Amino acid sequence: MMGIVNILLTVVFSYLVGALPTAYLFGKVLKGVDIRQHGSGNIGATNAFRVLGKGPGAAVLIIDIVKGIIAVVFIGNIFHQDTNGRILAAVAAVVGHNWTCFLNFKGGKGIATTLGVLIGLTIAIPVIRIAVFLCVLSWVACFLITAYVSVSSILAAVLLPILMVVVSAPFSIDLLSILFCIFIVFRHRPNIQRLLKGQESKVPLPFHRKN
């Protein structure tokens, strides 16, 4: 019975940590604006950079990553979770970010928080470290080449389960990576539509030529 209670508490607290709407709070406190009414309308780090500026955007990005780490590592430790329990914490945190109860179950796209939970899981499962590293590297390389955050995120999401299989990650991690891939692609549907129409916004990188 105690084990079931600990699992339930792990899931609930992980969800609540993930559900903290960082960009929304920064917008209200720093600028007095509802970030959902500006830019892309998303409450993720990319829109925070666009609407609030580099400093607040960087802070949102870091906090959203840390949310995932807290869920998997600290909440997992508090409730004495094994690997499977930490995987449940990871899913709960990302679901909380994507569908936050604090904003009528409308949240971000989950990229930063997904990275955070994966970082947290590398502590318990060393074999997946190289897969996570290569996934991040692929995101960075794609972003520097294309200047599209959305394309980079979708590419990294698709590569994640492939890389997990390559490094012989536990089967539960393979399933988790497939789930995260589905989450990310699903949340990027509007971006995919804009890409197909040639209307997706690029991040202005200094070494890219302007069209």
At 10, list the tokens: 């792990």
pLDDT digits (tens, 9 = 90+) for 131-178: 999 999 999 999 999 999 999 999 999 999 999 999 999 999 999 999
pLDDT digits (tens, 9 = 90+) for 84-105: 999 999 999 999 999 999 999 9
What distance in Å separates the CA atoms of residue 12 and residue 73, rounded to the nearest whole number?
A: 15
What distance in Å separates the CA atoms of residue 13 and residue 25, rounded to the nearest whole number?
A: 19
Contacts of residue 37, defined as CB under 8 A and 6 or more positions apart, other chains included, come to none
At 184, list the tokens: 């990310």
Contacts of residue 202, defined as CB under 8 A and 6 or more positions apart, other chains included, come to 146, 147, 148, 208
pLDDT recorded at residue 66: 98
What distance in Å separates the CA atoms of residue 46 and residue 52, rounded to the nearest whole number?
A: 10
Q: Where are the domains of the chain?
A: 1-107, 125-204
